[in-house]
Copies of this chain bind each other. A is one copy, B any other.
Amino acid sequence: MNSNRLEAFSDGVLAIIITIMVLELKVPHGTDLASLTPVLPVFLSYILSFIYVGIYWNNHHHMMHAVEKVSGGILWANLHLLFWLSLIPFVTGWVGENHFAELPMALYGVVLLMAAIAYFILQNRILALQGKDSLLAKALGKDIKGKASPIIYIVAIIASFYSPWTAGALYILVALIWLIPDKRIEIIFRENE
């Protein structure tokens, strides 16, 4: 079995997740600027979630490129990842409609954490099939980003109950870590080691 249909299905689900979130932006009834105010926090959380799903699609795209054969385990590990990502529209809406309150912010982090763990499991499944000397293993290296992200999520989840804005800043931080092109980061990390 090849990976084409797995990619096509994942693309479809990710495309729907990224687009369905916009439905949480409820069309306001008024026509003045004030009527847009309740939409603003939902819009801000939409931007962050859009970037997160974009990052996942991007990384998924790269990882699957290295995969030729798909085992049953990879298939379910992939569905497991899609499951947690499919909850992003729900927590995005909850966070946005409640102006970044404590519990919604924490649950947002929990979903991101579970998605990161699911991605880690999928990655390990693929690496187990490909071996330590594979191109993917080399490309990942020490996978510092992959290991740092869950730790930051856990800190952010705890922080949510004391300072939701700190949690928000940490979620933005993780997104930035992944957005900045790899090579430069890798050089920075190498120099710091």
Contacts and interface: CB of A to CB of B under 8 A. Distances in A.
Contacts of A14: 9
Contacts of A82: 18
A133 to B, nearest CB: 21
A62 B1 contact: yes
A149 interface: no
Contact of A8 (B11, B16, B19, B79): B11
Per DSSP, chain A at the interface is helix
A67 interface: no
B15 A9 contact: yes
Interface string A13-39: 111111110111101110111001000
Contacts of A152: none
Contact of A25 (B7, B18, B65, B90): B90
A131 interface: no
Nearest to A9: B11
Interface residues of A, number: 56
Given A7-B5, A65-B1, A181-B72, A50 B83 contact: yes
A25 B83 CA distance: 13
Closest 10 CB pairs of A and B: A12-B15, A31-B101, A27-B93, A16-B19, A54-B79, A31-B98, A13-B15, A25-B90, A9-B11, A27-B94
